[in-house]
Amino acid sequence: MASRRAALFLCSVPLLFLSQSMTESAQNGGGAKRRLRPNVLVTGTPGTGKTTMSSLLADATAMRHFNIGDLVREKGLHDGWDDELDCHVINEDMVCDELEDSMEEGGNIVDYHGCEFFPERWFDLVVVLQTDNSVLHDRLTSRGYMGAKLTNNIECEIFQVLLEEARESYASEIVMPLQSNNVEDISRNVATLTEWINNWRPPVQSN
């Protein structure tokens, strides 16, 4: 597991039906403070379409989109550059501090190829995008990935590392795997998640 997780750092860089229990469970998984809109984490191996889908979803729902990779670069939320892994050494505490106020408020889509260091209380739904190996291989090759970096990311997807990480880090009821192989998948996923977000209500708090 450790080697699979480490491999992820090299990549710096049909759901038409939601059960009532999933929706309720997700709504009740909120944090201590009552937020009026949900927070959604979109995770998955690099190249599965997190940023593409999150951007469209943010447009459709008027939610904020945080691309963590961009945020780390723009705000310097890292401890330098790792030449061997070819990525910034992300400072997880700084990232969490940066996001805390927005997450408390709600209405955020967070897009990152990892999920275990965020506070569990932040998220009402955790989407894990998944892509067939051959499709992902072509996308990552187009992005210039090669050698170990390419292989490690493909292996991450084969071994479903992000899905496993999501299920270990969050209540299984709020973890939603979605296929992302083609543009029809993007449209369907955006429609499904838009409906979920628009139907979301804050959990009723007991006295």
Least CB distance to ligand DAT at residue 2 (A): 23
Tell me the per-residue interface mask from 66 to 85 with ligand DAT, x by CB under 6 A, - otherwise. --------------------
Instruction: Taking the CA atoms of 49, 175, 15 and 20 in sequence, report the sign of the dihedral they define.
Output: negative
**Closer residue to ligand DAT (CB): 91 or 181:** 181
Instruction: Taking the CA atoms of 192, 194, 195 and 200 in sequence, report the sign of the dihedral they define.
Output: positive
Can you point out the beta strands (E) in the chain? 39-43, 64-67, 78-82, 87-90, 108-111, 125-130, 175-179
**186 near ligand DAT (CB under 6 A):** yes
**182 near ligand DAT (CB under 6 A):** yes
Distances in Å between the alpha carbon of 179 and those of 104, 130, 164, 205? 29, 5, 16, 34
The reply to whether 50 sits in an annotated binding site is: yes
197 touches 38 (CB < 8 A): yes
The reply to whether 35 sits in an annotated binding site is: no
The reply to whether 23 sits in an annotated binding site is: no
Least CB distance to ligand DAT at residue 87 (A): 13
Tell me the per-residue interface mask from 29 to 68 with ligand DAT, x by CB under 6 A, - otherwise. ---------------x-xxxxxxx----------------
HSE value, Cβ hemisphere, 13 Å, CA-based, for 71: 18
| Window of 74-82, 167-175, 180-188, 191-199 that interacts with ligand DAT by CB under 6 A | 180-188
DSSP three-state, residue 58 = helix
**114 near ligand DAT (CB under 6 A):** no
Burial of 148 (0-12, 13-18, 19+ CB in 10 A): exposed
Tell me the per-residue interface mask from 124 to 153 with ligand DAT, x by CB under 6 A, - otherwise. ---------------x--------------
The reply to whether 51 sits in an annotated binding site is: yes
List, as residue ranges, the binding site for ATP: 47, 49-52, 143
For binding to ligand DAT (CB under 6 A), which residues are involved?
Answer: 44, 46-52, 139, 180-183, 185-186
